[in-house]
Structure 1
Amino acid sequence: MLVAALAAALIAFLGATITDLDGWYRTLEQPGWAPPDYVYGMAWTTIFALIALAGVTAWRRTPTTQASDMLIGLFALNGFLNILWSLLFFRAQRPDWALIELVALWISIVVLIVVCARYSKLAAILLLPYLAWVTVAGMLNWEVVQLNGPFG
C-alpha cells in the first residue's frame, strides 16, 4: 500500500508542479460551467487516493507475477499519460495537443477498469470517479480549444 501511495503521490506532485494557473492560463477564456480552481485540487487528491487503493486492491488479487507486472505497467502508463497531459496543456501551452492526448489517457483508464475488474470488482469501481473526472476534463479541454484556438 505504501508503494502505491508513494507512486500516486509522486505522479500527483509532478502533475501539480507542471500545472501553472498563473500567466498564460489566466488569459484563456473558460466555459461558464468550469468549476472554481479549488475544486481541482480536492478532486485530484481524492482521485489519486482512489487510484492507489484500486491498484493495491487489484494487485493483491492477481494470480501470477506476469499478471501483476502487466497491471503495474498499465498503472505506470496511465500515470505517464496523466503527466503528459499537464505538460502539453500548461507547459507547451497547447490545449489542442492536450485534447488529442486526453483520448489516450481516457482509453488507458478504460483499459485499467477492464483489467482491474478481472481481479477485483471493487478496484474497477474505485476507478470510475477517475474516468468521470477525466471525461469532464476532456469536455473542458474541448471548450478551451473552441473558445481560444488556434494555438501555436
Structure 2
Amino acid sequence: MELVKVNGAVNVKKLMVSVLVPVVGGSIIGAIANQRTREEYRELKKPSFSPPGWVFPIVWTGLYKAMGIAEYRASAKAKNQEEKKKALIPYEIQLGLNFLWSFLFFKWGLRGTAFIEMAVMFGIITWTTYEFYQIDPLAGHLMVPYIMWVTFALGLNYSIWKWNDD
C-alpha cells in the first residue's frame, strides 16, 4: 500500500486510470496485433535465450502495472503543471511506441523496422525514467524493470530479425 501512497494518501480513481490505461491498452493492442500470428511466431528461428510465448503476457502485465504506478506517482508529486507535462510527454510517447511495436513486429512482419522503433522507444523510456526520477525517485525506480526488459527485447528482436531476414 505504501507504494501507491503519495503524500500519505491514495487517489484511487487516478491510480486506477494510471494503471488501467497501459494494462488494458496493452492487452487490447496485443490481442489485435497478435491475431493469427502465434503459429507464424512459433515457426521463426529464435535464439536460445528466447523465452516461451506464455512468459510475455505475464511480464508485460507486470511492467504495465509498474509503469502505471510510476506515472501515477510522478503526476501526483509534480510541483506544477509544467513539471507534470515535462514528465508525461515522454511517458505518453513511449507508451504509444510500445503499442505500435506489436503491429510492426507481429501484424506487419516488419522486424527490422520494429527493432529501430524499439531502439527509439528505449531512449524515450530512459528519458521518461529520468523525468519521473526528478519528481519522485520511487517513480523512476519503478521504470527500471521496464528498461531492463526492453534491453532484453532489443536483443531478441534483433536476433529474430537477422535470423529470419529472407
**Normalised by the shorter chain, which TM-score bucket?**
over 0.9
The alignment of Structure 1 onto Structure 2 pairs a total of residues equal to: 150
**What one-letter code is carried by the residue in structure 2 that aligns with 1:50?**
A
Aligned with residue 3 of structure 1, among 17, 35, 40: 17
Aligned with residue 87 of structure 1, among 103, 120, 138: 103
> Hey, which bits of structure 1, 4+ residues long, moved more than 4 A?
none
Instruction: State whether residues 11 and 79 of structure 1, in contact with CA within 8 Å, keep that contact through their aligned partners in structure 2.
Output: no
Instruction: State whether residues 86 and 131 of structure 2, in contact with CA within 8 Å, keep that contact through their aligned partners in structure 1.
Output: no
TM alignment of 1:1-150, pairs within 5 A: 1-17=15-31, 18-20=33-35, 21-150=37-166
Distance 2:24 2:120 in 1: 21
Bigger-Rg structure (1/2): 2
Encode CA deviations 1:34-93: one digit per residue, 9 max, x unaligned. 111111111111101100111111111111112212322222111110011111001111
Distance 1:110 1:102 in 2: 12
**What one-letter code is carried by the residue in structure 2 that aligns with 1:19?**
N
Q: Considering only aligned residues, what root-mean-square deviation do their CA atoms show, in Å?
A: 1.3
Instruction: State whether residues 90 and 125 of structure 2, in contact with CA within 8 Å, keep that contact through their aligned partners in structure 1.
Output: no
Give the C-alpha shift of residue 95 in structure 1: 0.8
Distance 2:114 2:147 in 1: 16
Distance 2:27 2:158 in 1: 25
TM-score, length basis structure 2: 0.85
**What one-letter code is carried by the residue in structure 2 that aligns with 1:16?**
G
List gaps (5 residues or longer) in structure 2.
1-14
**What one-letter code is carried by the residue in structure 1 that aligns with 2:21?**
A
Distance 2:24 2:85 in 1: 19
Between the two structures, name the one with larger relative contact order (CA 8 Å, sep ≥ 6): 1
Instruction: State whether residues 14 and 83 of structure 1, in contact with CA within 8 Å, keep that contact through their aligned partners in structure 2.
Output: no
Instruction: Report the secondary structure of 2:38's partner residue.
Output: coil
